[in-house]
Amino acid sequence: MNTEVAIIGAGPAGLLLSQLLNRAGVSTVVLERQTRAHVLARIRAGILEWSTVELLRAAGVDARMEREGIPHDGCVLASGDTQLRIDFRALTGRQVMVYGQTEVTSDLYEAQDAMGTEVLHGVSDIEITDLDAARSVLHFTHEGARRRLSCLFVAGCDGFHGVSRRTIPADRRREFERVYPFGWLGVLSETPPVHHELIYSNASRGFALASQRSETRSRYYVQVPLTDKAEDWSDEAFWDELRRRLPGEVAARLVTGPSIEKSIAPLRSFVSEPMRWGNLFLAGDAAHIVPPTGAKGLNLAASDVHYLHRALIDAVRGDRAGIDSYSERALRRVWKAMRFSWATTTMMHRFEGEDSFAEAMRRATLDHLGASETAQKDFAENYTGLPF
């Protein structure tokens, strides 16, 4: 097999990159370890920055998002019973879009089907070789046979547990990591959202988030110890805990129902530098992970893809300036989103065993945010997304 760009991973990063490259006439083959059904069953985050919305438009995968997505002008940061609304639109002129990552992925699959792109599923044991040669080679197992794919460039879009990052020699990689001592227990339910905007709540019992997927579908989270198991949380226990962590007036309006999905995700900040090794380019979770508090995971994957698709289109046509600066440009934006995600996580969560100073700092940060329009503008600017 032959292609211009071989893409490892059919998550949002891999599929969006493939779609943008194909539209510019660059050929791709996508290799995915899981089945398509498995990829489409994963429930992930649900907030798109406007730059992500515009990138999906440029990729021609916006039709359903325009119909079903819900633009939001702000969100609420709560501390106990005190609610502070951050007005994105008034402060920055920008909005965000509520549209689930699962829907984005499904729209991308359909667009790739229409393009006739080869997306191979159930691929295993990928080996990446010849990254310094004019053509690189991927060896992999598919439907019981060992196969070979020759390409000009490899895009590693295979998430945190993928093979791409580990292909870069360990002594040439620098990793930065912070693991948080808690996880988020998430529940999806066919119930109307408790509020028309998202509520991030810092309560004495721990953090909670009231999010949504549509006017009839809600997504809620509560901070839990890492030792908790999702199956030990009954729906009733979840709703009780959520109610206790939302401002009283909001909790009184909460409509509950059976959970459609319930899972626990650990929280981590992680960056691996560089994002390029010879003809290999990393994008999305393969290179970095953020805790979900700032809603940046999918949006960072999108900004990587924004830089990378342009760089690869130029490189296929003979201009290598974009690929030479890709890692540095992508990382500059990644680090700023890392900072925001870490700061927001620190501001909104209780850390077990924290001292009185840490608690006082969190209170002062929220107090300052409530009193200073400058601080609110800074939050809004980061939340709605820094420029590409």
Surface-to-core class of residue 249, CB atoms within 10 Å of its CB (0-12 exposed, 13-18 middle, 19+ buried): exposed
Task: List, in sequence order, every residue forming a beta bridge with 114; answer none if it has no partner.
Answer: none
As a whole number of Å, the CA-based R_g of the chain is: 21
Q: Taking a C-beta distance cutoff of 8 angstroms, is the pair 102, 40 a contact? A: yes
Per CB under 6 A, does 291 bind ligand PHB? Answer: no
Helix axes 50-58, 12-23, angle to 10 degrees: 40
Segment 337-376, which members bind ligand APR (CB under 6 A)? Answer: none
CA distance 267 to 341: 11
Per CB under 6 A, does 126 bind ligand APR? Answer: yes
Residue 45: count of CB within 10 angstroms of its CB? 18
Out of 7, 11, 199, 323, point to the residue binding ligand APR (CB under 6 A): 11
Per CB under 6 A, does 163 bind ligand APR? Answer: yes
Out of 33, 165, 195, 219, point to the residue binding ligand PHB (CB under 6 A): 219
Out of 3, 5, 6, 12, point to the residue binding ligand APR (CB under 6 A): 12
Out of 211, 259, 345, 365, point to the residue binding ligand PHB (CB under 6 A): 211
Binding-site partner at residue 211 among ligand APR, ligand PHB, none, CB < 5 to 8 Å by type: ligand PHB
Binding-site partner at residue 293 among ligand PHB, ligand APR, none, CB < 5 to 8 Å by type: ligand PHB
Q: Taking a C-beta distance cutoff of 8 angstroms, is the pair 156, 167 a contact? A: yes
User: What would the x/- binding string for ligand APR be over residues 300 to 319, using CB under 6 A?
Assistant: -x------------------
CB of 39 to ligand PHB, least distance (A): 17
CA distance 140 to 154: 14
CB of 293 to ligand PHB, least distance (A): 6
Q: Is the peptide bond before 181 cis (omega within 30 degrees of 0)?
A: no
Binding-site partner at residue 47 among ligand APR, ligand PHB, none, CB < 5 to 8 Å by type: ligand PHB
Q: Taking a C-beta distance cutoff of 8 angstroms, is the pair 273, 331 a contact? A: yes
Pairing of strands 153-156, 174-189: unpaired
Binding-site partner at residue 309 among ligand PHB, ligand APR, none, CB < 5 to 8 Å by type: none
CA distance 296 to 371: 25
CB of 169 to ligand PHB, least distance (A): 34
Helix axes 373-384, 321-348, angle to 10 degrees: 130
Q: Is the peptide bond before 274 cis (omega within 30 degrees of 0)?
A: yes
Residue number with CB closer to ligand PHB (313 or 380): 380
Q: What is the DSSP letter of 350?
A: P
CB of 218 to ligand PHB, least distance (A): 9
**Two structure tokens written together for 88:** 């994105």
Mapped onto helix, strand or coil, the DSSP state of residue 276 is: strand
Residue number with CB closer to ligand APR (160 or 351): 160
Per CB under 6 A, does 13 bind ligand APR? Answer: yes
Q: Taking a C-beta distance cutoff of 8 angstroms, is the pair 2, 151 a contact? A: yes
Per CB under 6 A, does 46 bind ligand PHB? Answer: yes
Cα dihedral 16, 21, 25, 31 sign: negative
CA distance 145 to 334: 38
Per CB under 6 A, does 285 bind ligand APR? Answer: yes
Binding-site partner at residue 380 among ligand APR, ligand PHB, none, CB < 5 to 8 Å by type: none
Binding-site partner at residue 13 among ligand PHB, ligand APR, none, CB < 5 to 8 Å by type: ligand APR
Q: Which residues are catalytic?
A: 72, 200, 292, 296, 383
Using CB under 6 A, count the residues that bind ligand PHB.
Answer: 9
Per CB under 6 A, does 193 bind ligand APR? Answer: no
Per CB under 6 A, does 271 bind ligand APR? Answer: no
Out of 10, 75, 78, 251, point to the residue binding ligand APR (CB under 6 A): 10
**Among residues 332, 28, 56, which one has the least CA distance to residue 157?**
28
CB of 45 to ligand PHB, least distance (A): 4
**Among residues 16, 65, 112, 72, which one has the least CA distance to residue 384?**
72
Per CB under 6 A, does 155 bind ligand APR? Answer: no
Binding-site partner at residue 46 among ligand APR, ligand PHB, none, CB < 5 to 8 Å by type: ligand PHB
Pairing of strands 118-120, 124-129: unpaired
State the residues that interact with ligand PHB by CB under 6 A.
Answer: 45-47, 198, 211, 219, 292-293, 295
